[in-house]
Amino acid sequence: MVVSRRGASARAPRTNFESLANSRIIVGDCIAEMSKLPAASIDLVFADPPYNLQLKGELKRPDESHVDAVTDDWDKFSSFAVYDDFTRAWLLGCRRVMKPSATIWVIGSYHNIFRVGAIMQDLGFWLLNDIVWRKSNPMPNFRGRRFTNAHETMIWAARDEHARATRSTTKRSRPPTRTCRHVPIG
């Protein structure tokens, strides 16, 4: 399987999963699938969870044209409480499978990242850093009533305060920019 390079910079490394003998992609509900994995078996978690965009109706530009936004069922939650319950469930699933030395990365936008961060702290994760992922091609704010939203936030955390998190070092001093679908509201 070859991973899509949509949005990747030309310098980003190419990945061919056939060359990774131990790689396996598990398709399914993340909470159900993680429950089948052994406890304390995972070195690193990277999660890009639903944004909970709370879109009410169709998004339109000032010229009345339609904005192609995320309107999929997986991003529909009837309330913050329902979103929080889902977030707690998958984060607990992650925590169970993480090794004591493992770390977790969670990326999100202002729509969800503050709720996710608070829940992570409530569950005992130990926040190590937050990293701003700057978008090189943000969606303009069509109505001009808010600032253009040109970044996402990544939370990096250890399993708990006393866990010995490991950090792989890299020559890069800054994370690479990435392109990302972005939805302005307001």
Ligand X SMILES: C[S@@+](CC[C@H](N)C(=O)[O-])C[C@H]1O[C@@H](n2cnc3c(N)ncnc32)[C@H](O)[C@@H]1O
| Residues found near ligand X in the complex (CB under 6 A) | 29-30, 48-51, 74
Q: 8 or 150: whose CB is closer to ligand X?
A: 8
Contacts of 36 (CB under 8 A, 6+ apart): none
Residue 93 Cβ vs ligand X, minimum distance, rounded to whole Å: 10
Q: 87 or 103: whose CB is closer to ligand X?
A: 87
Residue 62 Cβ vs ligand X, minimum distance, rounded to whole Å: 27
Amino acid letter, 167: R
Q: Which of 94, 92, 118 is nearest to 44 (CA)?
A: 94
Q: 65 or 79: whose CB is closer to ligand X?
A: 79
CA–CA dist 88, 4 (Å, integer): 30
Residue 99 Cβ vs ligand X, minimum distance, rounded to whole Å: 22
Q: 148: which 2 tokens? A: 């253009």
What separation, in Å, do the N-terminal and C-terminal C-alpha atoms of the chain show?
40
